[in-house]
Amino acid sequence: MFTIKARDLAAILDRVAPHRFQADDDANDLDTLILDSTPAHLHAVGCSDRTLAVARTSVTGDVWTAPVGYDDATALRAWLESSDHVTVEHVTTSGHQQLRFTEGPAQITVPAACHVGRLPWRALLRLVLDARKHSLAVGRPVQLSADDLARWGHAGADGEAIEFRSLGPVGTLVTAGPDFLGLQTPHTWTGRHRAGAGPPRCAPACSCSPGPSSRWARGTRTTPERRGSCLPVPAPARSRC
């Protein structure tokens, strides 16, 4: 349990909200975002067929992860508009995970989306960090479509400069200040998205620039007894709710 400013929680939700699967995508079971708490940060993780975005804010919290359906996340975001400081609890009721947000007598409870597979975004973060040093990432142009730019515009919601850096065949690294990381899967050099180049199903990735990279890398380490393996798997395991 921890307390967070409502505007800080709303801000990380807003920064990742554009990164979701479209209604006509064959991935309705992935139409979620992830709220992930560590002792130092609360992360919000959004994933589409071609992008992954991770935003974080400082908290003094516990260790838990909960996928949240976008409809529930939208309801939470609206509830935060009339809130100031919110207490966040991760609870289990009748074997099901829930997130409880409270301010005085006001409360909203959001169920975890039990039907989705685990999203190993930390493992993909480490892979992308390594890709920054690859020779194929040096001197390559960054190509983004208008739709891509519209998605990433929310990353700098507080006026942060948004930086795009080529990772060659891995894609494009996106950063906005010290608390936002993103990955755009690659386009061909004609500007078209490379077929089949998106992140594995249920496997978002994220990335970072030279400034925040070491801090993010340290913050994503977890011990086996607290988390389990973060390595990508061919068939994602179901979330335990």
- Per-residue pLDDT of 91-120, as tens digits, reads 998 888 999 999 999 999 999 987 777 788
Q: Give the residue from 53, 55, 26 showing the smallest Cα distance to 205.
A: 53
Q: Do 122 and 222 contact (CB within 8 A), yes or no? A: yes
Q: What is the mean pLDDT of the chain?
A: 76
What was the pLDDT predicted at 40?
Answer: 96
Q: Do 114 and 238 contact (CB within 8 A), yes or no? A: yes
What was the pLDDT predicted at 215?
Answer: 45
Is pLDDT of 144 > 70?
Answer: yes
Q: How confident is the model at residue 150 (pLDDT cuts 50, 70, 90)?
A: confident
Q: Give the residue from 198, 158, 152, 196 showing the smallest Cα distance to 178.
A: 158
Q: Which of 13-27, 59-73, 204-218 has the highest mean pLDDT?
A: 59-73
Q: Which residue has the higher pLDDT, 77 or 145?
A: 77
Q: Write down the pTM of the prediction.
A: 0.74
Is pLDDT of 43 > 90?
Answer: yes
The contacts of residue 223 (CB under 8 Å, 6+ apart) are none
Task: Give CA separation, 106 vs 5, 85, 100, 145, 216, in Å.
Answer: 15, 11, 11, 42, 34
What was the pLDDT predicted at 64?
Answer: 94
What gap in Å lies between CA 163 and CA 67, rounded to an integer?
28
Q: Do 100 and 76 contact (CB within 8 A), yes or no? A: no
What gap in Å lies between CA 82 and CA 102, rounded to an integer?
12
Sheet containing 51-58, strands listed edge to edge, beginning at the edge strand earlier in sequence: 64-69, 32-37, 41-47, 51-58, 180-184, 172-176, 162-166
Residue 145 gets which letter from DSSP?
A: -
Q: Which residue has the higher pLDDT, 107 or 23?
A: 107
Length of the chain in residues, anyone?
241
**17-26, 44-53, 185-194: range with lowest mean pLDDT:** 185-194
What was the pLDDT predicted at 214?
Answer: 41
